[in-house]
């Protein structure tokens, strides 16, 4: 992860390979940018006049300073209209700029926290939030996963941006900036940890691997970890989770992480993550094309583990329990078949009509287990349905639940972090459609019902308990989520959303 520090300095006198200036959309250079333009003999004014640069969101202009500045190069990055600047626009702009800097083979860069962006905003986030968004956007954008690439020891290491310096406009900003950088680094580290878990192939990131990762993380943090294996699950009657894992040689794991940052008498928020480490679809086999991406079917688990890491690192004064239902869905001779009936931990029976609707099965037992904590609220995250892609594409996750106030707060956190959620309905008709003729429930609706995402949530509601509960379907946002600070592949979606949500939680 890139090292971020700060140094109060004048942008005209600051020595760096690349000086990055976030710029609002204007007709001509203003403020600090105007002073730099004069030093560069009007080069920036010329770019504005020719419309090579106008400050539109994520627009860039790289100039060699030709010795006129202490900085070797100047990189302007647009943030759009000043009145519309928020943490998300700054996060995207910072990501765009550092990726260009790294692509230009710079080893270090500096960002001047331009007064035009950070001091002249009448409404919106404060200086610390915007400055933190620079560090967060840069750190998230410069994620690399090279673990499986061979490299000749004689070769030079890959060109990477190694150091980023933030330059506050005044020395009075230093304390605020230090706090913002520290928070951003912890958030970025947690997101990177989640992305790493999803990036690993299925032959590495097995349920046992997830369990061992959770144990290591717990040892480093103020977290208690316990892992339930097959025998413990059998004693508890977790027939749904065990049913999914039956076709695999990889043993399942129920991973439980307990973080107590407040008095233990305070009811915790419980986060439940779907951890299907590879999903072939089971007997209801998926098509071969694109099946390699099904290593990402444990993205809910990765987000849960990453969120717990972030919460612990930030020492939030709340109680949170993370539960990961980990299994592999394979089609061998012992695998469950369409038409089989499973008995869940809750005692409810489930008719399995499609073995590729396995996520709701593993979550059913995990949600039931969550009731042991008498939680104040429960949130589950899962790459649950392809239907959510039809509804929302890759731009937002679906949020479906029983408590409007909880959903409202999640939407606010989604807007604040750029990890947006959009509410879909949970109508009585969907719950009726989840009923089976020969068991209590069936894991998919009859043909013609449609509304796949809401149907998945309707099934889960039967196991969610009476406390406020929200289901977040991240099938469209966990992978292929197109933003400047998200690399190709896993996004780590959910970590920032949950941490922000829990930071606002009052006990």
Residues belonging to the active site: 286, 360
How far, in Å, CA of 428 to CA of 128, rounded? 45
Question: How many angstroms from the chain centroid is the CA of residue 360?
Answer: 21
Tokens describing residue 408: 């409202």
Whether the Cβ atoms of residue 129 and residue 114 lie closer than 8 Å to each other: no
**Which residue in the block uniquely carries the two structure tokens 């202009």?**
61
Contacts of 173 (CB under 8 A, 6+ apart): 8, 113, 127, 131
Residue 403, judged by CB atoms within 10 A of its CB (0-12, 13-18, 19+), counts as middle
Whether the Cβ atoms of residue 303 and residue 311 lie closer than 8 Å to each other: no
**Which residue in the block uniquely carries the two structure tokens 């076709």?**
247
Length of the chain, please? 507
Q: Which of 182, 197, 127, 256 is nearest to 3 (CA)?
A: 182
How far, in Å, CA of 14 to CA of 168, rounded? 12
How far, in Å, CA of 209 to CA of 214, rounded? 9
H/E stretch holding 320: strand 319-329
Beta bridge partners, 270, equal 321, 378
- Structure letter (DSSP) for residue 68: S
Tokens describing residue 362: 């593993």
How far, in Å, CA of 164 to CA of 20, rounded? 10
- Structure letter (DSSP) for residue 54: -
Whether the Cβ atoms of residue 181 and residue 6 lie closer than 8 Å to each other: yes
DSSP string, 226-281: EEE-HHHHHHHT-HHHHHHHTT-SSPPEEEEEEEESS-TTSPPEEEEEEEEEEE--
**Which residue in the block uniquely carries the two structure tokens 């673990």?**
147
Torsion of CA 451, 488, 253, 471, to 10 degrees: -30
């Amino acid at each position: 992860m890139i090292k971020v520090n700060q140094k109060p300095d004048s942008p005209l006198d600051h020595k760096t390979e690349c000086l990055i200036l976030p710029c609002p959309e204007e007709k001509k250079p203003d403020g600090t940018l105007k002073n730099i333009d004069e030093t560069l003999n009007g080069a920036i004014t010329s770019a504005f006049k020719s419309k090579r640069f106008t400050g539109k969101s994520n627009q860039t202009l790289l100039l060699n300073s030709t010795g006129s500045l202490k900085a070797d190069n100047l990189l302007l990055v647009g943030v759009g209209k000043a009145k519309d600047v928020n943490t998300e626009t700054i996060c995207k702009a910072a990501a765009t700029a550092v990726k260009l800097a790294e692509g230009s083979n710079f080893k270090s860069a500096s960002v001047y926290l331009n007064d035009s962006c950070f001091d002249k905003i009448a409404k919106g986030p404060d200086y610390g939030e915007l400055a933190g968004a620079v560090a967060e956007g840069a750190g998230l954008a410069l994620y690399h996963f090279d673990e499986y690439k061979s490299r000749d020891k004689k070769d030079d290491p890959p060109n990477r941006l190694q150091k980023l310096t933030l330059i506050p406009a005044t020395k009075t900003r230093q304390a605020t900036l230090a706090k913002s950088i520290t928070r951003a680094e912890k958030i970025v580290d947690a997101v990177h940890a989640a992305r790493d878990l999803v990036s690993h192939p299925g032959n590495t990131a097995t349920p046992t691997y997830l369990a061992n990762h959770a144990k290591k993380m717990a040892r480093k943090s103020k977290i208690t970890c316990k892992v339930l294996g097959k025998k413990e699950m059998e004693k508890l009657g977790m027939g749904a989770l065990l049913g999914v894992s039956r076709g695999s040689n990889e043993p399942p794991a129920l991973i439980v992480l307990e973080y107590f940052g407040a008095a233990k008498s305070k009811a915790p928020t419980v986060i439940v993550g779907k951890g299907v480490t590879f999903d072939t679809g089971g007997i209801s086999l998926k098509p071969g094309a694109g099946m390699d991406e099904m290593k990402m079917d444990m993205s809910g688990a990765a987000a849960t583990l990453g969120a717990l890491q972030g919460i612990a690192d930030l020492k939030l004064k709340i109680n949170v329990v993370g539960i990961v239902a980990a299994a592999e869905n394979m089609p061998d001779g012992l695998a469950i078949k369409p038409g089989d009936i499973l008995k869940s931990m809750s005692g409810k029976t489930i008719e399995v009509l499609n073995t590729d609707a396995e996520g709701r099965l593993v979550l059913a037992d995990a949600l039931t287990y969550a009731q042991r904590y008498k939680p104040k609220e429960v949130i589950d995250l899962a790459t649950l349905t392809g239907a959510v892609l039809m509804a929302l594409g890759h731009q937002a996750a679906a949020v479906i639940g029983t408590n409007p106030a909880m959903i409202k707060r999640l939407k606010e956190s989604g807007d604040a972090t750029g990890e947006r959620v959009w509410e879909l309905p949970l109508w009585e008709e969907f719950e009726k459609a989840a009923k089976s003729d020969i068991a209590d429930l069936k894991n998919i609706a009859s043909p013609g019902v449609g509304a796949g995402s809401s149907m998945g949530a309707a099934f889960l509601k039967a196991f969610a308990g009476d406390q406020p509960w929200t289901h977040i379907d991240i099938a469209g946002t966990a992978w292929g989520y197109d933003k400047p600070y998200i690399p190709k592949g896993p996004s780590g979606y959910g970590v920032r959303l949950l941490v922000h949500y829990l930071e606002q939680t009052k006990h």
